[in-house]
Structure 1
């Protein structure tokens, strides 16, 4: 089962997150083989705002344990966690995407909609790194979408999801995460 997990930073928690980076990476190393995508979100001045992890886990209990046993969460670095079942419509990981283009930025785009049993149209294209619907716990209802992509601007990223379909759309600067190589 695939899950989308977004730990949103508590304001002012960047020093704590920086102090705990090795603990965070050591925790994530345990899940490396199950990762579809991961990485930090941040502001234009590179202040951390959150941490995205998309991974394949056995069930919802394992996903909750992953989200709430994370060292930064335990230490109070995050204000909340968005944890949803997810479906990898591209069928690949961020490592399959490649190095990307230097003239582009990466973004997380979240769209939220009224629950529906119907599939929703999701974008396609070479700029997509990961894409899929956010699902209810039982997987029966679509609650939104999460898209990781590479494009020239936040405005272009915003256009990835249709405002006619989604009640709210969030755009966050994002980049590949993990231990530096």
Structure 2
């Protein structure tokens, strides 16, 4: 039985050239996980000019495989990412991958939203159903204890992302510009 895990790795400042030099190594590593990949891609500054991190959501056998995925990855090993990789169990509420998202709108932006907190209550995202690429709860390693919510959404702008999360019971919400990643 496989388990869904979400990984968010933050880039260290000044590592863009190193990241670019490791592109093929990174993709070759990710190719090993292609069958279980649910979503992936880089995050950017709000103006979209600087890469700030990487998101991966993957089905893996267990927590040990998740640690290997995070810490054996070439960018992590070379020092592109900060040491504190976010690793959370995750539940794929929509049951699809990002490649199955059919609502693409060229006039919209894509976002990774990480809402951190321990409340089991989540805001209703029904009003945004057509704009959700993937979403689900962030969970502790036990797969049950709430740790927040992760949302991949395509919205008109950052203000729409902020509005979508405004009424949530979260301690902290991060909104990152994001795009689909992987081999071209």
Normalization by structure 2: what TM-score? Answer: 0.92
- CA distance 1:34–1:48, change in 2 (3 Å): same
Give 1:139 shift: 1.4
- In structure 1, the partner of 2:134 is 130
Distance in 2 of aligned mates of 1:90 and 1:9: 28
Give 1:120 shift: 2.9
- In structure 1, the partner of 2:70 is 67
Q: Is the 8 A contact 1:158 1:170 kept in 2?
A: no
Give 1:7 shift: 0.8
**Which string of whole-angstrom CA distances, capped at 9 and with x for unpartnered residues, describes residues 104-144 of structure 1?**
1100011011x24x353452311000100100110121110
Q: Matches of residues 77-156 of structure 1 in structure 2 within 5 Å?
A: 77-79=80-82, 80-98=84-102, 100-113=104-117, 115-116=118-119, 118-124=120-126, 125-156=129-160
**Which string of whole-angstrom CA distances, capped at 9 and with x for unpartnered residues, describes residues 69-118 of structure 1?**
000000000013100000001111101103611101100011011x24x3
Aligned length: 178
Give 1:46 shift: 2.2
What is the DSSP-based 3-state SS (H/G/I as helix, E as strand, rest coil) of the residue aligned with 2:17? helix
Give 1:163 shift: 4.4
- In structure 1, the partner of 2:36 is 34
Distance in 2 of aligned mates of 1:122 and 1:82: 24
Q: Is the 8 A contact 2:48 2:177 kept in 1?
A: no
Aligned Cα root-mean-square deviation (Å):
1.4
Structure 1 residues without counterparts, runs of 5 or longer: none
Task: Indicate the structure with greater strand content.
Answer: 1
Distance in 1 of aligned mates of 2:24 and 2:30: 10
- CA distance 1:38–1:164, change in 2 (3 Å): closer
| Candidates 167, 171, 175, aligned match of 1:171 | 175
Give 1:160 shift: 2.1
Structure 2 residues without counterparts, runs of 5 or longer: none
Normalization by structure 1: what TM-score? Answer: 0.93
